[in-house]
């Protein structure tokens, strides 16, 4: 038996109505979703940490989620792992005519245009002849907000709803920031209005990142990692002086942070606006 066959056999045993695991037997497609998202993030974390030992282990956990879904589908007669794999194979062949058919694409941009055209045709086919598919159809609600924002704005840009130049988006960011400042200055404070303006500002920032070729989700993850690294440096600097963050004022914290930032050899070449 192959490794996949072994895994399928283990999964079937876990779901056995008599001798299986009670927790595994209780799961359904919906209950597995949070676990699948968690496993996907753990794969991303292992890759970002370049933990070569953890990567295959985390990928195994993610693969198990797919096998779990496949077993539930097999039990209900809706689909199985073979059907999932065959569907994926057919999709890849269909979306790569420059590889598997006679059509030729000589540039990555041309290939992407072909890919998106084929995907648009697939969405239209799913919608049916009576429906007119919208540009924003099928962007999953469950995506992280930054990822979904980028996808929504990319879809809109494909049909021409986009600023001509990146500097126009920078102007829009400034406009949204000014509107947020105005909302914050209003007395009494309207928290719902502040919330709305903050969302508009974040949307404009994601749009800017898209226009300048930066993945907003990855940029924020990298920014988080840099802040965490430098704040841990701040804590180490205070510890050397027998101080704790909660016992000193902001000026001391800022001074220690700037010292940690100066000692941080990574992240050079990026903006130091933090």
Three-state secondary structure call for residue 29: helix
Q: Are the CB atoms for 152 and 139 separated by under 8 Å?
A: yes
Confidence of residue 140 (pLDDT cuts 50, 70, 90): confident
The C-alpha torsion from 175 through 220 and 139 to 88, rounded to 10°, is 150
What pTM was estimated for this model as a whole? 0.65
Give the residue among 198, 197, 210, 199 at the shortest CA–CA distance from 170.
210
Which backbone phi and psi does 77 adopt, to 5 degrees? 75, 15
Looking at residue 202, its pLDDT comes to: 97
Q: Are the CB atoms for 230 and 261 separated by under 8 Å?
A: yes
Cis preceding-peptide flag for 188 (omega within 30 of 0): yes
**Whether pLDDT at 120 is above 50:** yes
Average confidence (pLDDT) over 180-203: 97
Residue with tokens 């990692």: 225
Which backbone phi and psi does 268 adopt, to 5 degrees? -65, 145
d(CA 145, CA 138): 15
d(CA 204, CA 168): 11
Q: Are the CB atoms for 237 and 199 separated by under 8 Å?
A: no
d(CA 229, CA 223): 10
The larger pLDDT score, comparing residue 127 to residue 133, is at 133
Looking at residue 271, its pLDDT comes to: 38
Q: Are the CB atoms for 149 and 199 separated by under 8 Å?
A: no
């Amino acid at each position: 038996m192959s490794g996949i066959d072994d895994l399928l056999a283990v999964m079937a045993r876990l779901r056995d109505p008599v001798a299986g695991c009670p927790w595994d037997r209780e799961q359904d497609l919906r209950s597995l979703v949070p676990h699948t998202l968690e496993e996907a993030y753990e794969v991303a974390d292992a890759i970002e940490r370049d933990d070569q030992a953890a990567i295959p282990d985390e990928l195994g956990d993610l693969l198990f989620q797919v096998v779990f879904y496949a077993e539930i589908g097999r039990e209900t007669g809706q689909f199985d792992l073979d059907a999932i794999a065959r569907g994926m194979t057919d999709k890849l062949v269909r979306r790569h005519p420059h590889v598997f058919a006679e059509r030729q694409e000589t540039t990555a941009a041309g290939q992407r245009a072909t890919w998106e055209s084929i995907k648009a045709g697939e969405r239209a086919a799913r919608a049916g002849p009576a429906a007119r598919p919208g540009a924003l159809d099928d962007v999953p609600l469950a995506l992280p907000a930054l990822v979904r924002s980028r996808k929504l704005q990319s879809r809109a840009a494909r049909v021409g709803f986009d600023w001509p130049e990146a500097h126009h988006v920078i102007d829009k960011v400034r406009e949204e920031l000014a509107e947020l400042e105005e909302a914050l200055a209003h007395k009494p404070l309207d928290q719902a209005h502040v919330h709305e303006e903050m969302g508009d500002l974040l949307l404009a920032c994601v749009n800017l990142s898209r226009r300048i070729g930066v993945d907003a989700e990855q940029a924020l993850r990298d920014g988080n990692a840099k802040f965490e690294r430098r704040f841990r440096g701040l804590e180490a600097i205070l510890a050397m002086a027998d101080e704790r963050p909660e016992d000193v004022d902001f000026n001391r914290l800022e001074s220690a942070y700037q010292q940690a930032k100066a000692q941080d050899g990574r992240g050079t070449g990026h903006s130091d606006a933090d």
